[in-house]
Structure 1
Amino acid sequence: MSTSPLERSLEQRLGLRERKKLKTRRSIQEHALRLFQEQGYEATTVEQIAEAAEVSPSTFFRYFPTKEDTVLTDEYDPLILEALRGQPAELSPTEALRNVLRELIGEMLAADRQRILDRSRLMLAVPALRARQWEQTRETQDRIVEALAERLGRPAGDFELRAFGAALIAVWETTLLAWVENGGEDDILALLDHGLDYLAAGCPL
């Protein structure tokens, strides 16, 4: 599988030992997603995933605490936050986030579109994954709010910042749902742009 500039950036930040761990984690995840597609999420066991990835079940659990984590885990949040902090100070929060999401999501899709679509379908279809994904999304929202608070010189608990963060996540989730519902045929970046424009305009109806 090809790697995007985003993934190479992540690898370059890691030492040799961590890069080896990342390679193993990705291998386990790839085999898990393949088995979920072939025989269904519920029918696939941790033992089957470990066997396919040629690791022991104990090794599986060192990388993924639960089967759910093979779908939910990625390494991109720190890169998103780093890119956000590096955006020009004169940009509005919406424009800064637009730049970050367009660049990073574009790179991810260029390298791994089908895998992202498969993961997204699973997260929307499996109740246990939906519940965990909600928790993770709230954590991402909190991190984005913290980064924006630093950028704007406002406290992370600021009500307006938190409301903006929640609205941003709602735009992303609506974009992702529309993309998945249409089988990944839509231009997800164009959908995201439309959602951010709508948010910036005050969501008029």
Structure 2
Amino acid sequence: MRKLHNVRRLQPVDKASERRERRKVARRAEIRAAAVRLALANGPDAVTIEEISEAADIAPRTFFNYFATKDDVYSLEPMQWTEAEILAELRSRPAHEKPLESMRSVIKAMAVAANFGSMHDQMALLQELYERYPQLFAKMRLGDQIDATMLALATELAARTGADADTDQYPHLLVGASFAAMQTAEQRARTGEKDIETLIDDAFDLLARGL
């Protein structure tokens, strides 16, 4: 078992702030879904921020609380969360917590806030949009976003465990396994009777036992 050392002291978690951030993720997902439906109907270039805002029942100025540009609304990011939001979720976990348990909590928070139960349908619509407008997909660089987020998480875990993110494979493997657990749970939630939180727990229990 890996020993934790040189762990940074973390500030006490502000639960109210944490809830606000998760609600922001959920609202962003709703706005994105509205934008994708409009883009499929009318073409992404024809859709305005005002139309997206009206469809999502927000003020146009509020749109920029969730997205820096209109194009950003068509990017799924790493499962609806920004890199900064996922990192903040990890950093909110207790310093003494085992890294695998910290990642379990992060993945469950991501799944609940972004409503992974409907993720497949959202992805199908976004994929259809990208197929119709490949130039839009080229702008998104989704693979780069996911790679950068996974690297940031691995670097954070390395700092918690005293590992070297450049040479130690452990934090990178843990992040990769956690995302694989999330994907497996999402897929099984669509075809089985268990809810996604239970399936995430099942997957992480298997990881904890070494599969």
State the TM-score, normalized to the length of structure 2: 0.61
Equivalent position of 1:72 in the other structure: 76
CA contact (8 A) 1:31 1:52 kept: no
1:119 to 2:128 alignment: no
More helix by share: 1
> CA–CA distance in 1 between the matches of 2:96 and 2:109?
19
Quick one: which of 86, 94, 97 aligns to 1:88?
A: 94
The change in CA–CA distance for 1:175 and 1:63 in structure 2 (over 3 A counts) is same
Q: Which runs of 5+ in 1 are unaligned?
A: 13-22
Quick one: which of 138, 148, 154 aligns to 2:147?
A: 138
The change in CA–CA distance for 1:107 and 1:32 in structure 2 (over 3 A counts) is closer
> CA–CA distance in 2 between the matches of 1:28 and 1:86?
26
Code of the residue aligned with 2:200 in structure 1: it is L
Equivalent position of 1:8 in the other structure: 20
Indicate the structure whose relative CO is greater, using CA pairs within 8 Å and at least 6 residues apart: 2
Code of the residue aligned with 2:148 in structure 1: it is E
Equivalent position of 2:34 in the other structure: 31
> CA–CA distance in 2 between the matches of 1:10 and 1:103?
8
> CA–CA distance in 2 between the matches of 1:64 and 1:188?
31
Any idea what SS the aligned residue of 1:46 has? coil
Equivalent position of 1:63 in the other structure: 69
1:93 Cα deviation after fit:
0.9
Please say which of residues 138-147 and 43-52 is displaced more in the overlay.
43-52
1:77 Cα deviation after fit:
3.1
State the TM-score, normalized to the length of structure 1: 0.62
CA contact (8 A) 1:6 1:108 kept: no
1:197 to 2:201 alignment: no
> CA–CA distance in 1 between the matches of 2:163 and 2:196?
31
Any idea what SS the aligned residue of 2:74 has? helix
> CA–CA distance in 2 between the matches of 1:121 and 1:27?
15
Equivalent position of 2:186 in the other structure: 176
Quick one: which of 147, 161, 164 aligns to 2:174?
A: 164
Any idea what SS the aligned residue of 1:63 has? coil
1:151 Cα deviation after fit:
0.8
The change in CA–CA distance for 1:31 and 1:156 in structure 2 (over 3 A counts) is same
CA contact (8 A) 1:71 1:119 kept: no
Q: Aligned residues, how many?
A: 174
RMSD value, Cα: 4.0
The change in CA–CA distance for 1:196 and 1:7 in structure 2 (over 3 A counts) is same
The change in CA–CA distance for 1:118 and 1:93 in structure 2 (over 3 A counts) is same
